[in-house]
Amino acid sequence: MVSQSMTFKILFPSSYSVEVSKLRQQLDEAHLAWSREWKARQLDFKIENIRFVHDPHWNKRIFSLQAAHDGEIWFWRATHMIVLSGASSI
């Protein structure tokens, strides 16, 4: 009868674990080198903090998507009525 430890040695020889750890180390080193190079290239790009002035009447503007959804402006109310009457005639 074969012992359990002998079975594991047959299935998973120790040399494989060494090769896998070496491969993993090479992969980690390659990834570290790539990430350093990528970060160095990113320094060329300057990200500016762009701020927009808040418009308190943004949802009342005629071309605002929210105004089109709410239908509070006469133009969008008329558009809603035309669409609804056209859909009901189908």
How sure is the predictor about 42, in pLDDT bands with cuts at 50, 70 and 90? confident
pTM: 0.34
Q: 23 is written with which tokens? A: 């491969």
Q: What is the mean pLDDT of residues 61-80?
A: 81
The domain locations on the chain are 4-42, 60-89
Q: What is the mean pLDDT of residues 4-20?
A: 66
Tell me the C-alpha distance between 14 and 17, whole Å.
5
Q: Please say whether the beta carbons of 35 and 42 come within 8 A.
A: no
pLDDT at residue 29 in the model: 93
More confident residue, 82 or 69: 82
Residue 1 has pLDDT above 60, yes or no: no
How sure is the predictor about 17, in pLDDT bands with cuts at 50, 70 and 90? low
